[in-house]
Amino acid sequence: MAEMSEMRKVEAIIRPMKLEEVKSALADAGFVSMTVIDVRGRGQQKGLVQQWRGREYCVDLLPKTRVEVVVPERDVDQVVELIRNTAATGNIGDGKIFVIPVERTIRIRTGEEDDEAL
Amino acid sequence: MAEMSEMRKVEAIIRPMKLEEVKSALADAGFVSMTVIDVRGRGQQKGLVQQWRGREYCVDLLPKTRVEVVVPERDVDQVVELIRNTAATGNIGDGKIFVIPVERTIRIRTGEEDDEAL
Amino acid sequence: MAEMSEMRKVEAIIRPMKLEEVKSALADAGFVSMTVIDVRGRGQQKGLVQQWRGREYCVDLLPKTRVEVVVPERDVDQVVELIRNTAATGNIGDGKIFVIPVERTIRIRTGEEDDEAL
Amino acid sequence: MEKNKTYLLASILVMLVLLSLSPQVAAQEESIESLTESVDSLGTALTFVWLLLCGGLVFLMHAGFSLVEAGFTRAKNTANILMKNLMTVCIGVLIYWLVGWAIMYGDDVGGIFGFSQFCLSGADNAIWNAWFFQMVFAATGATIVSGAMAERTNFKAYLVFTGLLVAIIYPVYGHWVWSGTDLALLTGDGSWIVQMCGASFHDFAGSGVVHSIGGYAALAGVIVLGPRLGKFKNGKPQVIPGHNITFGFLGVLLLWLGWLGFNGGSTLDGSDAFMNLAVANTFLAAAAGAVAAMILTWVKTGKPDPSLTANGVLAGLVAITAPCGSVENWAAIVIGIIAGAIVYAGVMFNEAVLKVDDPVGAIAVHGYCGTWGLLAVGIFSVGMGNGILDGAVYAAGAPGLLYGGVNQFIVQVVGALAAIVWAFVVGLIVLS
Amino acid sequence: MEKNKTYLLASILVMLVLLSLSPQVAAQEESIESLTESVDSLGTALTFVWLLLCGGLVFLMHAGFSLVEAGFTRAKNTANILMKNLMTVCIGVLIYWLVGWAIMYGDDVGGIFGFSQFCLSGADNAIWNAWFFQMVFAATGATIVSGAMAERTNFKAYLVFTGLLVAIIYPVYGHWVWSGTDLALLTGDGSWIVQMCGASFHDFAGSGVVHSIGGYAALAGVIVLGPRLGKFKNGKPQVIPGHNITFGFLGVLLLWLGWLGFNGGSTLDGSDAFMNLAVANTFLAAAAGAVAAMILTWVKTGKPDPSLTANGVLAGLVAITAPCGSVENWAAIVIGIIAGAIVYAGVMFNEAVLKVDDPVGAIAVHGYCGTWGLLAVGIFSVGMGNGILDGAVYAAGAPGLLYGGVNQFIVQVVGALAAIVWAFVVGLIVLS
Amino acid sequence: MEKNKTYLLASILVMLVLLSLSPQVAAQEESIESLTESVDSLGTALTFVWLLLCGGLVFLMHAGFSLVEAGFTRAKNTANILMKNLMTVCIGVLIYWLVGWAIMYGDDVGGIFGFSQFCLSGADNAIWNAWFFQMVFAATGATIVSGAMAERTNFKAYLVFTGLLVAIIYPVYGHWVWSGTDLALLTGDGSWIVQMCGASFHDFAGSGVVHSIGGYAALAGVIVLGPRLGKFKNGKPQVIPGHNITFGFLGVLLLWLGWLGFNGGSTLDGSDAFMNLAVANTFLAAAAGAVAAMILTWVKTGKPDPSLTANGVLAGLVAITAPCGSVENWAAIVIGIIAGAIVYAGVMFNEAVLKVDDPVGAIAVHGYCGTWGLLAVGIFSVGMGNGILDGAVYAAGAPGLLYGGVNQFIVQVVGALAAIVWAFVVGLIVLS
Ligand SMILES: Nc1ncnc2c1ncn2[C@@H]1O[C@H](COP(=O)(O)OP(=O)(O)O)[C@@H](O)[C@H]1O
Ligand SMILES: Nc1ncnc2c1ncn2[C@@H]1O[C@H](COP(=O)(O)OP(=O)(O)O)[C@@H](O)[C@H]1O
Ligand SMILES: Nc1ncnc2c1ncn2[C@@H]1O[C@H](COP(=O)(O)OP(=O)(O)O)[C@@H](O)[C@H]1O
């Protein structure tokens, strides 16, 4: 339980088209492992106006991509910085990063825990 | 690190058809931002029986929608209450709300942190 | 707030084809409730080489399935063990389990909290 | 004597020649007769082949309708829609065999309906051929309704309604127009309507018989049924997007192709060269309808709307169905353009004013443009035997308004109204 | 002298007339001959056109099969299934040109197989026409197998099996039935089987030659192959749902349309009016099969089952393929209904009792209903020349059980068994 | 006197017979004439029916192209691609009516283009029939371009380009080849090119007129347009996978079927038996092209590539389009195999060397294989009237290289180059 506060899940909600860039930036810095989820979200960004049979309608949940990387606490700043640098366009809708505590990490294959599990 | 315990992610697993209602209730109370994920789940609710080529089969993971809202600790009660009020039908399968600690919150666009980032 | 440290979300990223097995192993041990999400991920496992119009390309995010189970702290070990035992194949790509603290748990239908909510 | 001998010889010669000639001529008589028969039966065979293949193309329209309806609605209703469309064909085949043909082409009862040949009793190959071609039309009329009623109809009720449509609603109006009996309400020489109007109603391939009937029956159905859940919020129409535009467009192209059989085959004669005019006009009107609808939506909404453009194709096709064998090429284009406009206006009108919910625009396409097609005959018809219609045998009899005639227009109005009233009213009664 | 002169004049007149007449008559003789030729070659041309177009419709069935198989199985296997189906056509075309035709229609060797015209050597336009129409049939027979073996077949092994099917299994049985030689095992006047049974086997368009052969070869394949991973758990069949019902239903409608060419073209004569009876019966049986399957699943499971209803259409079509030119309309409906029931029972039987895994129901549809179609000839056949078959030249020769005949039924049983044994046994041998 | 009486009687008899015979012969003369007319007009009717139906099949190719293009590209561009393809047809219909036909088949201006019959003025049924069949070809040529330019073209610019292609680029080259006027640049007896080469260019159904023109106009378009965003990274081609292989394969099968009409109909005569040779060769080449492409990708990449195999089908079809009525079966297979190889090499060459981005392989399929088809005529042509072409009236006039002729090959080279230069250069000019 000593390592409890030492693992963090960095959840970054980004633009789908930024995924490739974020992925390679993280990989280049040694953070190859990650999990990616397609989500929809809204924040300060307005929805998208679409048309069907001559009428407009608003899709207010926009497609976003969530990249999740579990890292030791010491790497959090670097990961956050990497994501920020590559995922930012300066326009509304760039997304958010949430850092969440992870109590334990287990590698299913071997049963290794925490640091060794990453 | 002072704000560590002050941010929470409210994860609500609800019925897909309740999404619109929950969304507008939250927006009306000022919680516009959110992330939505399509999930499948099971709890006390039985699965759905479907048919293919004359034989029945059970889909035991039912389609659910997960609404995630990150808010300061002080707003958690209100958000939980709002979701509960709009998402409940009184029938099994209404879903669950989980409140998870968030250590840090960063806005990708500006780098602002925590309260300012929301 | 007393129960804060007593709830945990066990997030297991597994091979999609292992879902059925994990599901029934958990159910047999009494953990019926769960939420399942389709994700894509990479770790130590190489990507998949695919072909289109005579050229190869690499899909480096592989389809994975994430099983999330919220349980009281006392059950975490058992759940982790169950998942490990059923999801492991011994090959790279078996996946990871992350245990994340959950502060509160609310059943939408009744408003019950924490232990009673599961 | 010499001379006489000469005569004798000559005469004998002549007689010999004659004797050899006479049976030859008789034999030729026979071969000519048998040849004439062969040529006739070859002509009939050509018609059989042509109508079977055209019928096949019309049958393909069911695939087209299925795809348009499935593609332009939500994924969750796909299986239901497909089942409904498949069953429409199946019921169409069986009921039109059982009852429909008898009511439409059986022995005439007062010009109102037919009543004999139930179950095609006494049929021969000519009847089977005709039945097949007519049956695919009947089933098409029925399937139109399924589009308008998509995503909310009770399956069992739908099946019953389809059965009644193919058994009664469709064939009765069809009898008025296509039965060819002297008293046939809208087209027979002995009918009071024809005599009153001074011209015979003309509906080449069914802007009225098939499309108006289907379209207004659909209107009745949609009104009885009410809109889909969530289609109107506080009276304001909401958007419910379709789920697969590729299916929708494939469907439209299959429907277009089907119309080659629909209109091309409707001279019912493989040797009638005017099938070519009909087909050329059909394709021109379809293209014009699409372009018109595209430009209209482009101007109105800022971008060309795919699903309304697709409706524009169908609008042009439905409208040209009645006049395609009676008008010039330029008129076909004009008819198509106007149809494209009608379908756009019609869809908006249905949603915003009538507040009826028609997911695929079936009422505007088949109902409104069907009516327009019938009226267009009265406006643009060249008149059988005039100008390009020299030698035509199946076209509107009298010239239209633009060619100085009035009677044809009048009778078209009467026939168009008859279709609306008959399909809508009987549809309402049956459904409630 | 005057009289004589008169005679003289008269005679000269007569001779002149005769002289003018005789070459005219001769010339007419010639034009009649050339006309007869023109009419004949026009008849041939009509047949060419008709069979090319019917062949095209049959070719469309490959699209239909591809869609049904892709739609009714899992998304992950789609590319594999599509490749398999496309290659089936390609191999079908090439191998049937190389070998298949020669074995089926080449010079007869003891009534068992043909052996000449490899690579269509010496072909003229009549042969190319016939080859084309027969080739699409052969490829259809082959593609049936791909459906049953979907989602687990080794691609290379499949290609080899398809080649052998088109080169040997299909054309040998085809030779027995359709080669037209006097010794042809099942249909030739000189065949011991025909003489023993007292009637000639009749398989109009291939319930046996195409569908039984394909279906039972598929059964052999499926047994050798074993079920898909996860299809049976502790011997209990598991559900593996298809991924796109729209593709499946589009496929069924294309198959139905294809059958217009399949059955309609099978008189092999553009001037044979009985194509109309064949087509009418085809559509009636298909509709009846679908309705029957729908009602059955509705009653048994509480709701109408889409994919089994779709199978019902195909069941009706397969079953009517043999008898469509020999039975009355009502019989076609009865045949279709029973086929609809057979396909439901067959699918359940295969899964629950035989424990074979046939993702799209190909064995029940083509095998079981193919056999039923062959037997149905022996039950419902009116008998060539009787009743509605007055003037028919390609129908079952003798009346069926219901019309007092027994011989036709007997020979149908023999032919149906021959198809089962031949396709299943040779299939097993080839595959293992 | 007695004798005289006898003569008299005899003569009277003779005259009576003659009198009865003469009008009969005259009447027969008339019936023979009217029969001849009937037979002639029946022949025309058969051609009408045949060409309308073949035109319908060619029209179906638009559905095929739409599906291939939509399926083999990304989902997000589907609506755009479908709109483009639908509008190509619509514009094709309208512009070919307005201008295209006039430039292609109007009164000849120096062998270079036609100029009369705008808006089909003065058309009769024969013209409408011919227009319809030619129009679907023109629209096909235009739609080829849309495939190559998929996923990045400005919609408005595309519409304009399509209009110009159908109005000018296509019909001018078409005039050189198919107008039938004495001066027609590539085929007329009076053309300097034909006289110089000593043989007339032969392009049966349009490897050049339709496919080369479309393919090289597409090449021009693709060069002007540049590749899709992300197609090349540091000059290296990236993979952008298609989104729905089922649509792609369905499209290929529909295109294949369409070619039955494309090549089968191109004798323009329902009574020309050589339609059968054309169709047989068409199917053989398509199958051979697919098998060749499959084996090649299998050998080169370790697994058979579905979308390149699908291209192989089309490659074979495009290549056989020019020679299908002039070569033997085995030659058709060889032509197909080489086409399959060309399409594989061409796709790789375009990406790796030319660095052009052609999402569906349209340039390799229609451009390169179109050129190959034209040259193949010069290599494999049997020569009109020789061997299997005894009695043929529409085939390459002179034998090809393999049959000892050189002139035909030379003129094919000239015609093939003319297509490349004309389509590519005018395409470039128009687009920039
Ligand atoms: N409070 C929040 N809780 C959950 N998700 C959020 C929250 N705020 C933003 N998001 C996610 O981040 C995405 C981008 O947020 P947005 O506010 O549009 O961008 P920006 O931060 O650049 O203004 C949203 O679409 C949503 O998915
Ligand atoms: N312990 C749990 N862990 C993870 N997800 C859960 C858990 N319990 C419930 N869920 C999610 O909540 C959904 C609704 O739960 P259910 O028990 O059916 O509803 P109710 O709380 O109304 O009885 C489930 O489908 C599942 O997605
Ligand atoms: N650090 C991480 N953060 C987030 N997800 C991870 C991390 N490491 C692994 N994963 C997830 O687990 C999956 C399996 O990991 P992998 O390293 O391939 O397996 P193994 O642990 O057997 O070597 C990945 O596809 C990814 O989704």
What's the alpha-carbon Rg for chain C, to the nearest Å? 17
> Which residues lie closer than 8 Å to E124 by C-beta, 6 or more apart?
F388
Q: Do F301 and C53 touch (CB under 8 A)?
A: no
Q: Which ligand is nearest to the CA of A39?
A: 1
Q: Give me the mean pLDDT over the D159-178 stretch.
A: 97
User: In chain C, positions 43-62, which contact chain F (CB-CB < 8 Å)?
Assistant: 50-57
Closest C-alpha among D24, D16, E1, E2 to residue F10: D16
Going by alpha carbons, the residue nearest to atom 6 of ligand 2 is: C34
Min CA distance, A59 vs chain B (Å)? 12
CB D43 within 8 A of CB D123: no
Q: Which two tokens stand for residue F339?
A: 């086409």
CB C86 within 8 A of CB C15: no
What's the alpha-carbon Rg for chain F, to the nearest Å? 26
Residue-level length of chain F: 432
- Has residue C5 got a pLDDT over 70? no
Angle among Cα F54, F57, F61 to the nearest 5 degrees reads 140
> Which residues lie closer than 8 Å to E289 by C-beta, 6 or more apart?
E312, E313, E314, E315, E316, E317, E319, E336, E337, E339, E340, E343
Query: What is the pTM assigned to this prediction?
Result: 0.95
Min CA distance, C58 vs chain B (Å)? 26
Indicate the domain borders of chain B: 7-117
CATH number of A7-117: 3.30.70.120
What is the predicted pLDDT for the residue at C4? 45
Task: Please work out whether the CB of residue B84 comes within 6 Å of at least one atom of ligand 2.
Answer: no
What is the predicted pLDDT for the residue at E287? 98
Q: Between A44 and D20, name the one with better pLDDT.
A: A44
Chain B residue with Cα closest to A7: B103
Q: Which two tokens stand for residue E240?
A: 């593996």
For chain E, the chains sharing at least 3 beta-carbon pairs closer than 8 angstroms are B, D, F
Return d(Cα A77, Cα D200) in angstroms, integer.
Answer: 86
* Helix or strand (DSSP H, E) at F381: none
pLDDT tens for D260-286 read: 999 999 999 999 999 999 999 999 999
Using the 8-state DSSP alphabet, how is residue D230 labeled?
Answer: T
pLDDT tens for D340-378 read: 999 999 999 999 999 999 999 999 999 999 999 999 999
pLDDT tens for D102-151 read: 999 999 999 999 999 999 999 999 999 999 999 999 999 999 998 888 88
Task: Please work out whether the CB of residue C89 comes within 6 Å of at least one atom of ligand 2.
Answer: no
pLDDT in tens, chain B (118 residues): 334 448 999 999 999 999 999 999 999 999 999 999 999 999 877 677 888 888 888 888 999 999 999 999 999 999 999 999 999 998 888 999 999 999 999 999 988 887 777 7
Residue tagged 């060769």 (tokens): F281
Q: Give me the mean pLDDT over the D79-89 stretch.
A: 96
Q: Which two tokens stand for residue D412?
A: 């078209």
- Choice from B34, B100, B118 to test ligand 1 binding pocket (greatest atom count within 8 A of CB): B34
Return d(Cα F218, Cα F370) in angstroms, integer.
Answer: 13
Q: Do F305 and C57 touch (CB under 8 A)?
A: no
CB F353 within 8 A of CB F416: no
Residue tagged 């209107």 (tokens): D219
Q: How far is the CA of C64 from the centre of ligand 1 (A)?
A: 25
Alpha-carbon distance values, F310 to F82, F255, F264 (Å) = 20, 11, 22
Helix (H, G, I), strand (E, B) or coil at C97: strand
Task: Please work out whether the CB of residue B94 comes within 6 Å of at least one atom of ligand 2.
Answer: yes
Q: Between E377 and A46, name the one with better pLDDT.
A: E377
Candidates F15, F40, F61, F86, partner chain D, best to mutate (most D CBs within 10 A):
F86
Q: Which two tokens stand for residue E206?
A: 């291939």
Q: Do E239 and B53 touch (CB under 8 A)?
A: yes
CB E322 within 8 A of CB E280: no
Using the 8-state DSSP alphabet, how is residue F227 labeled?
Answer: P
Q: With contacts defined as CB-CB under 8 Å, which chain B residues touch C108? A: 12, 14, 83-84, 87-88, 94-97
Q: Do D78 and E49 touch (CB under 8 A)?
A: no
Chain C residue with Cα closest to B37: C37
> Which residues lie closer than 8 Å to B31 by C-beta, 6 or more apart?
B69, B71, B75, B79, B82
Residue E339 has a CB neighbour count (10 Å cut-off) of 36
Min CA distance, F417 vs chain C (Å)? 28
- D and F touch with 3+ CB pairs <8 Å, answer yes
Candidates C34, C35, C107, partner chain B, best to mutate (most B CBs within 10 A):
C35
Rounded-to-10 torsion of CA E151, E154, E155, E156: -170
CB E387 within 8 A of CB E394: no
Pocket of ligand 1 (CB under 6 A): A 13, 41-45, 62, 64, 92-96; B 33-35, 68-70, 107, 109, 118
* Average pLDDT across chain D, whole number: 94
pLDDT tens for E104-126 read: 999 999 999 999 999 999 999 99
Number of the ligand 2 atom closest to the C-alpha atom of B45: 18
Residue-level length of chain D: 432
- Choice from B39, B42, B45, B96 to test ligand 2 binding pocket (greatest atom count within 8 A of CB): B96
Min CA distance, C40 vs chain A (Å)? 5
CB F273 within 8 A of CB E125: yes
Total beta-carbon pairs less than 8 A apart between chain E and chain F: 167
Alpha-carbon distance values, D91 to E240, E280, E343 (Å) = 30, 14, 20
Chain centroid to CA E327: 16
Q: Give me the mean pLDDT over the F74-86 stretch.
A: 94
Q: Does F393 touch chain E (CB under 8 A)?
A: no
CB E179 within 8 A of CB E108: yes
Q: How far is the CA of F76 from the centre of ligand 3 (A)?
A: 30
